[in-house]
Amino acid sequence: MTPNVLVAYATSHGSTREVAEAVAATLRTRGLEADVSPAADVERLSGHDVVVLGGALYTGRLHRDARHFLRRHRQALAERPLAVFALGPRTMSDEDVAGSRRQLEHALAHEPTLRPSAVAVFGGVVDPDKLPFPFSSMQASDARDWDAIEAWATEVAEAFTPSVV
């Protein structure tokens, strides 16, 4: 039986949705079924064997919809494989990535019964045209590494694909 994966995402400006869609596309090329949905719209996890949750990190916190998703579905998530990714750092410097990883780990620590089998932090996007003042004066950037995103999604697919004997 082919596992059905839910790729849920929490985003305010769309860049996390784009990554979630890329993750789902990679999962599909690896033979898995994958549905993509905003985390806030997911009412039940039934019908999904695996969950991948993606969330943006804003001002030191995982997106509210991702936090609510983890809390709302904690029991169902504890019963199935879970992978989590976050978009956050404006650069992929060691310092920026480490800071974002700490923020993600802090958010996950609030749900101690959940033990994601795969966790990743990817570069984020700053689009000043979509941000309110004073953030609208920030320099535009896109630190997403699409090769790293595809490699992580491939690892997730391999981890959740039943082996054929």
pLDDT tops 70 at residue 126: no
- Residue 49 DSSP one-character state: S
In sequence order, the 6+-apart residues with CB closer than 8 A to the CB of 32 are 2, 3, 4, 5, 50, 157, 160, 161
Q: Looking at residue 139, what is its pLDDT?
A: 67
Please provide the average confidence, as pLDDT, over all residues in the chain: 89
Q: Residue 119's closest CA among 86, 75, 144?
A: 86
Domain boundaries, the chain: 4-160
Write the pLDDT tens digit of every residue in 60-83.
Answer: 899 999 999 999 999 999 999 999
- Phi-psi sector, 85: left (phi>0), alpha (psi -120 to 50), beta: beta
Fold adopted by 4-160? Rossmann fold (3.40.50)
